[in-house]
Each structure stands twice: as structure tokens, then as C-alpha cells.
């Protein structure tokens, strides 16, 4: 997964010592179950919606479907039809499966995870959608559950865990309306940028300005950005990535529920094609290379597909004012150009929501559809076909294309476009990132002993912070190699500074060797390179052989 946080603080590991095992007594650590469990997804479930001229097609059987992975047909191992929230009987071909996905006549509940974007959302628009969402809560079925989280640009807060209680969900949505939203700040940033661009493009003629704003400079046939515009593009890219990371982390935190899972993404406006968005055009724009081929929501779609979530992005803002008649504009040409730019930007924002929906088999609820968002999602998730298969896992972090076809003409099929063949290393790293952002416990939270030495200077506003870890030997898997016991382990450190900025999580492989007793601990001493300011750290140790994880949260002031 690419990361473009060029302004973020960074962590670097300077020296990882070879582990030795001193004789230090230690009690067996207590494991804390929950969020920190590694989700080992072996079977991919596809929710397939089949329509004919807009109407749902019912009664299809297994033989009507063809499943392609990377262009190659693969067998469907599980098959069920869900109709109006109930699993229905199949014919003999469907009954031939030894392990059907659902028992006929079984009620199928849906888990609705609601993600509220407070970072881009304008308060009045957000509150209207939240109020309409609350009014539609009675549409939830008896076996449905909902959870609600919100993100303000720094922290993801859980407003409600999985519940069917309309009172609890209503209270959580009411609490969401009382949270501060920062969409007006985002709007102010853009208006300030547009005003600066207009003044840079104007020429004085008496007391009036005559020329228009950004028309674009071309290089090799492509529009280009100057340094100020590139700076604005990087700023927006960082903001969008923060929201996308937060939504991805929310999915990871709610990965465990069984059954049908959907996520309602209440978006305040997340632009795709950042450089084009800054320029206010649909044309490709040549930047400085930092944003080329950058897909801010790729990880979000991949995670949703991996965990079986269907995304339903909701456009909170609806149709926006495109800028006609603003008193600050110098002439009709400027007014026309600004309206065109804002219209293009709005469509680019909607494009990102459409792409997320299409990639995961959902629908984007744009403009007026936002007022009945939950009603539409409930209706869309009541009837579908459930196909399950076990891929040939390679764990190489590659994306696998998925295509489902129906062997009938004139039939439309909607499902997810693929899944990510994530390595276990990437899975664990994502888990640590999510735990840090969402402030949730990992397995073995608190069971790792962590201490620090005195920091020393390491350049301008940077320090080296000595770190000592005590690792419980009796909870890791030691393998016999050459007459000695050894274990290959991984250490990860997630860091968040006082401004809420997060550094990339590095994977530090280490080897423990020796002949320890079961009551001993291993000691690791190394150093972290940090900015000279307060940090919140999540330090984790992962044993790939046993799957055990140990972690510790600490705060340091430098």
C-alpha cells in the first residue's frame, strides 16, 4: 500500500541487537481476546445481485452461474439464494453441496457499519442525513445489527457497537450530531486557494481585474500544476488519505461478525484524481510525480473485499452551489469558470464514491438518494445470491480479479470486482495500524514489558530514544535448530504525535536463540528515532509460528 504522508513524522529503527535470554523470572501473561485476533479469511463469499431491466431475478441455481478468478473459471463450493432476508430452497444441483452456506428457511441478518466523516462534512448537511438515518432505523430486521463510528481527522470514535436496540442507535446518531464537524474549514481552505489563484491570474486595468483564474499550463499536451498548486494537491491528498485510512481501520476493527456485512460511508466529499480536482478539470493533470497512479481508496476497497463488506457510500452534501453570483468575482468570465471548476470537482468527488461502490458490489447514494440512504441499502441487501469459494492463496499482496457471469442473455450482475491476496505480514501490520488509530486493544495488550532510556539528540528536532523490551519466552514457539532453540519474531511500532499524525509501521524481523527455561524472558534493546515532541506509541511483538501477539501502549514526552 503506497503512503504519501510526506509531512508526517517518521520512525526509524537504528540497531536491532541479537537476542539473548537472561535468567529473569516472569509469570505467564494474560491474553486479552477481542479486536486483536488475526482474521484468517480462507473462503471468499460473494454477494451477487442479479437484475433484469431493474427487477431482481429470483430462482436461479448454481448451474446458471460462472465464476472467474483472474480470467480462469473456478468451482463454486457454497451456494445459497437469499430472498427478502431468508435463505430459500434450491434444486438438486444446489443440494449436492455438502456444506451449504445457509440452511433453507434460515433468517439472514445483515450487519450495518456506519462510518460518519466529520473531517470533510459540513455540519448542517451531515446532521440532516443523520436525522433521516435515525428516522429509518425501524426498517432494520429482527436479525440485523448496526454499529456506528465517527472520524474527526485525528481519532475514530466508536459511538455504538453492534446492537439491534433502536434506542441505543438513536442515541448514538443523536450524539453524532453533537460532534464537531470540519467541513466548513475544508471549504474555507479551498476558497482561499481559489481566490489566490484568481488574483495570481488577474491583470490590473484601473480598479478592475480582467483576466480569469486557472486556465492550465501544458507540457507535452498535458495540463501541469505549478508549485503552489502542487502544494495544495499534496495537502488534499494527505487529508483524503487520513479519511480513507480511518474507514479502512474501522473495517478491520469490525471484521469478526458473521453473515452479510455492509458499510455505509457518510462522505463529506472525497475527491479522486487529486491533481485534476485541484485544477477543477476532468483532464489528466501532470504533477511532480508524487501523486501519479495514486489510488487513495484502493486499500479501503481491498479491505472491504477481503473481509466481505459491501460499501454503500452516501454523498452527504448532495448538489452543491457551483459559485455563480459570488460578489468576490471580478467579472462574468471568472464566475463562469469558477462554476465550471466547482461542478467538475463535485463530479470528481462523486466518482470516488461510485468507484468504491462498484469495486465492492454496492451502490453510491448521491444527491437526493442520501435522504433515504438506509431505506435503499436495506432494500438492496434483502435479496441476493451467495457464492463461496476457496482461492489458491499465494499471500503475495496481489489483487485478484473476480467476475461472476450468468448463463442467460440480458441479465445484469453486480458483485465485488476482486479481493486482495494479502500476506500475513501485511495483515498484522494493518491490524496494528487500526488498533493505534481506533485505540483498541490488541491480543496480549499490556503483556509486553517496555522501558525507555534517556533520549539523546539526533539532529534538528529529533532524538534517539533507547527502547528495552522483555519478551515472555513461555508464550512464543521455539523450534529446535542445530541443537538450540530459536524463534523468528516480528516487532512493530505504531506512533502518533501530538498533532495526530501517524508514521508508517515498520516490520522489524528478529531472531531469538538460546536454551531458555519456560519461566524466562528474552530482552531486546534498540533505539527509536522520533521528533522532539509527545508521542503515543503502540509496540507489538508477533510470533508468526504460534500466531501469538503481545503489545504495550505507552506515551512519551520528548
What is the structure's pLDDT at 482?
63
What total of structural domains would you count in the chain?
A: 2
Q: CATH number of the domain that 509 lies in? A: 2.60.40.10
Instruction: Kindly state whether residues 470 and 402 are assigned to the same domain.
Output: no
The x, y and z cell numbers of residue 513, run together, are: 536463540
Instruction: Kindly state whether residues 412 and 502 are assigned to the same domain.
Output: no
Torsion of CA 283, 288, 293, 296, to 10 degrees: -90
Mind giving me the DSSP string for 438-498?
HT-PPTTBT-SEEEE---EE-STTEEEEEEEEEEEGGGS--EEETTEEEEEEEEEEEEEET
Tell me what the mean pLDDT of segment 252-257 comes to: 77
Contact between 253 and 306 (Cβ < 8 Å): no
Is position 23 within any domain?
A: yes
- DSSP-derived letter for residue 220 is T
List the one residue out of 491, 540, 551 whose CA is nearest residue 15: 491
- Number of neighbouring beta carbons within 10 Å of residue 195: 15
Q: What is the pTM of this model?
A: 0.80
Tell me what the mean pLDDT of segment 363-375 comes to: 94
Is position 327 within any domain?
A: no
Query: Confidence class of residue 439 from pLDDT cuts 50, 70 and 90?
Result: confident
Strand pairing report for 309-315 and 260-267: parallel
Alpha-carbon span 539 to 284, nearest angstrom: 42
Contact between 323 and 296 (Cβ < 8 Å): no
Instruction: Kindly state whether residues 29 and 96 are assigned to the same domain.
Output: no
Residue 260 bridge partners (DSSP): 110
Q: Select, from the ranges 9-13, 113-117, 482-486, the one with the highest average predicted confidence (pLDDT).
A: 113-117
The parent domain of residue 98 ranges over 44-107+383-421
Mean pLDDT over the full length of the chain:
79
What is the structure's pLDDT at 219?
56
Strand pairing report for 384-389 and 260-267: unpaired
Instruction: Kindly state whether residues 454 and 486 are assigned to the same domain.
Output: yes
Is position 374 within any domain?
A: no
pLDDT, tens digit (0-9, with 9 covering 90-100), for 278-317: 888 877 777 655 565 457 788 899 889 888 899 999 999 8
Is position 478 within any domain?
A: yes
What is the structure's pLDDT at 136?
97
Tell me what the mean pLDDT of segment 434-441 comes to: 74
Instruction: Kindly state whether residues 53 and 30 are assigned to the same domain.
Output: no
Alpha-carbon span 342 to 325, nearest angstrom: 13
Is position 74 within any domain?
A: yes
The x, y and z cell numbers of residue 33, run together, are: 481476546
Instruction: Kindly state whether residues 457 and 494 are assigned to the same domain.
Output: yes
Is position 142 within any domain?
A: no
Is position 427 within any domain?
A: no
Residue 190 confidence (pLDDT) above 80: yes
Tell me what the mean pLDDT of segment 395-401 comes to: 85
pLDDT, tens digit (0-9, with 9 covering 90-100), for 513-557: 766 555 577 788 888 888 888 998 999 888 888 888 888 889 998
Alpha-carbon span 475 to 442, nearest angstrom: 15
Torsion of CA 375, 381, 384, 386, to 10 degrees: 180
DSSP helix/strand/coil, 118: coil
What is the structure's pLDDT at 3?
42
Residue 342 confidence (pLDDT) above 60: yes
Residue 160 bridge partners (DSSP): 148
Contact between 489 and 476 (Cβ < 8 Å): yes
Q: Select, from the ranges 215-219, 257-261, 387-391, the one with the highest average predicted confidence (pLDDT).
A: 387-391
Instruction: Kindly state whether residues 30 and 48 are assigned to the same domain.
Output: no
Lowest mean pLDDT among 16-20, 158-162, 179-183: 16-20
- More confidently predicted of 117 and 396: 117
User: Which of 391, 421, 451 is the last residue before a domain boundary?
Assistant: 421
What is the structure's pLDDT at 264?
98
What is the structure's pLDDT at 95?
42
* Long-range CB pairs of 465-468, under 8 A, 24+ apart, other chains included: 465/527, 465/528, 465/529, 465/530, 465/556, 465/558, 466/525, 466/526, 466/527, 467/525, 467/526, 467/527, 467/528, 467/539, 468/523, 468/524, 468/525
Instruction: Kindly state whether residues 521 and 546 are assigned to the same domain.
Output: yes
pLDDT, tens digit (0-9, with 9 covering 90-100), for 145-168: 999 999 998 888 899 999 999 999
Contact between 470 and 29 (Cβ < 8 Å): no
Instruction: Kindly state whether residues 497 and 535 are assigned to the same domain.
Output: yes
Is position 209 within any domain?
A: no
Residue ranges of alpha helices (H) inside 202-316 are 227-253, 274-279, 298-307
Residue 387 confidence (pLDDT) above 80: yes
CA distances from 39 to 128, 224, 428, 483 (A): 36, 44, 9, 34
Tell me what the mean pLDDT of segment 92-108 comes to: 57
User: Which of 363, 393, 421 is the last residue before a domain boundary?
Assistant: 421
Instruction: Kindly state whether residues 474 and 504 are assigned to the same domain.
Output: yes
What is the structure's pLDDT at 321?
58
Instruction: Kindly state whether residues 411 and 448 are assigned to the same domain.
Output: no
What is the structure's pLDDT at 90?
60
Residue 186 confidence (pLDDT) above 70: yes
What is the structure's pLDDT at 294?
57
Place of cell 444441483: 93
What is the structure's pLDDT at 49?
95
What is the structure's pLDDT at 132?
97
What is the structure's pLDDT at 427?
82
- More confidently predicted of 202 and 245: 245
CA distances from 451 to 395, 497, 521, 523, 529 (A): 35, 19, 14, 11, 15
What is the structure's pLDDT at 431?
82
Instruction: Kindly state whether residues 28 and 50 are assigned to the same domain.
Output: no
Mind giving me the DSSP string for 151-162?
E-SS-EEEEEEE
Lowest mean pLDDT among 403-407, 429-433, 513-517: 513-517
Tell me what the mean pLDDT of segment 59-81 comes to: 91
Residue 326 confidence (pLDDT) above 60: no
Amino acid at each position: 500500500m503506497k503512503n504519501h504522508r510526506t509531512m508526517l513524522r517518521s520512525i526509524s529503527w537504528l540497531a536491532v541487537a541479537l537476542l539473548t535470554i537472561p535468567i529473569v523470572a516472569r509469570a505467564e501473561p494474560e491474553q486479552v481476546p477481542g479486536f486483536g485476533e488475526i482474521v484468517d479469511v480462507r473462503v471468499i463469499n460473494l454477494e451477487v445481485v442479479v437484475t433484469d431491466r431493474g427487477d431482481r431475478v429470483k430462482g436461479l441455481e448454481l448451474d446458471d452461474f460462472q465464476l472467474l478468478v483472474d480470467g480462469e473459471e473456478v468451482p463454486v463450493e457454497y451456494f445459497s439464494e437469499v430472498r427478502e432476508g431468508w435463505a430459500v430452497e434450491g434444486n438438486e444441483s444446489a443440494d449436492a453441496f455438502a456444506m451449504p452456506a445457509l440452511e433453507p428457511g434460515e433468517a439472514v441478518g445483515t450487519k450495518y457499519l456506519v462510518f460518519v466523516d466529520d473531517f470533510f462534512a459540513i455540519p448542517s448537511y451531515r446532521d440532516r442525513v443523520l436525522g433521516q438515518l435515525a428516522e429509518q432505523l425501524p426498517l432494520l430486521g429482527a436479525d440485523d445489527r448496526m454499529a456506528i463510528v465517527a472520524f474527526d481527522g485525528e481519532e475514530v470514535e466508536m459511538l455504538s457497537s453492534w446492537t439491534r436496540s433502536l434506542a441505543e442507535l438513536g442515541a448514538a446518531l443523536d450524539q453524532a450530531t453533537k460532534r464537531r464537524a470540519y467541513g466548513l474549514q475544508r471549504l474555507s481552505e479551498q476558497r482561499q486557494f481559489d481566490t489566490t489563484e484568481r488574483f495570481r491570474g488577474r491583470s490590473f486595468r484601473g480598479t478592475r481585474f480582467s483576466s480569469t483564474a486557472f486556465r492550465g499550463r501544458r507540457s507535452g499536451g498535458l495540463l501541469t500544476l505549478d508549485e503552489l498548486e502542487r502544494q495544495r494537491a499534496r495537502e488534499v491528498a494527505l487529508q483524503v488519505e487520513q479519511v480513507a485510512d480511518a474507514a479502512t481501520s474501522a473495517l478491520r476493527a469490525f471484521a469478526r461478525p458473521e453473515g452479510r456485512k455492509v458499510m455505509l460511508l457518510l462522505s463529506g466529499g472525497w475527491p479522486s484524481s487529486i491533481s485534476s480536482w485541484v485544477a477543477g478539470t476532468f483532464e489528466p493533470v501532470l504533477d511532480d510525480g508524487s501523486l501519479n497512479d495514486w489510488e487513495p481508496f484502493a486499500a479501503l476497497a481491498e479491505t472491504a473485499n477481503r473481509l466481505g463488506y459491501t460499501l454503500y457510500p452516501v454523498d452527504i452534501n448532495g448538489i452543491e452551489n457551483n459559485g455563480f453570483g459570488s460578489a468576490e468575482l471580478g467579472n462574468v468570465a471568472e464566475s463562469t469558470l469558477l462554476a465550471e471548476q466547482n461542478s467538475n470537482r463535485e463530479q470528481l468527488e462523486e466518482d470516488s464514491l461510485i468507484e468504491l461502490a462498484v469495486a465492492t458490489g454496492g451502490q453510491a447514494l448521491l444527491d437526493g438518494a442520501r435522504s433515504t440512504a438506509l431505506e435503499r441499502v436495506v432494500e438492496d441487501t434483502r435479496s441476493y445470491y451467495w457464492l463461496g469459494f476457496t482461492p489458491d492463496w499465494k499471500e503475495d499482496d496481489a489483487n485478484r480479479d473476480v467476475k461472476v457471469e450468468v448463463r442467460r442473455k440480458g441479465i445484469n450482475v453486480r458483485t465485488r470486482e476482486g479481493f486482495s491476496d494479502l500476506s500475513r505480514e501485511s495483515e498484522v501490520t494493518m491490524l496494528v495500524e487500526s488498533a493505534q488509530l481506533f485505540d483498541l486493544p490488541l491480543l496480549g495488550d499490556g503483556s509486553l514489558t517496555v522501558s525507555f532510556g534517556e533520549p539523546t539528540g539526533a539532529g534538528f528536532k529529533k532524538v534517539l530514544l533507547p527502547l528495552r523490551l522483555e519478551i515472555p519466552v513461555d508464550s512464543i514457539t521455539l523450534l529446535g535448530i542445530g541443537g538450540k532453540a530459536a524463534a523468528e519474531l516480528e516487532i512493530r511500532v505504531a506512533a502518533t504525535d501530538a498533532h495526530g499524525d501517524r508514521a508508517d509501521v515498520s516490520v522489524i524481523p528478529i531472531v531469538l536463540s538460546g536454551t531458555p527455561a519456560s519461566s524466562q524472558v528474552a530482552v531486546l534493546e534498540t533505539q527509536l528515532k522520533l521528533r522532539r515532541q509527545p508521542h503515543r506509541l503502540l509496540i507489538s511483538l508477533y510470533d508468526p509460528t504460534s500466531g501469538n501477539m503481545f503489545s504495550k501502549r505507552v506515551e512519551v514526552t520528548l
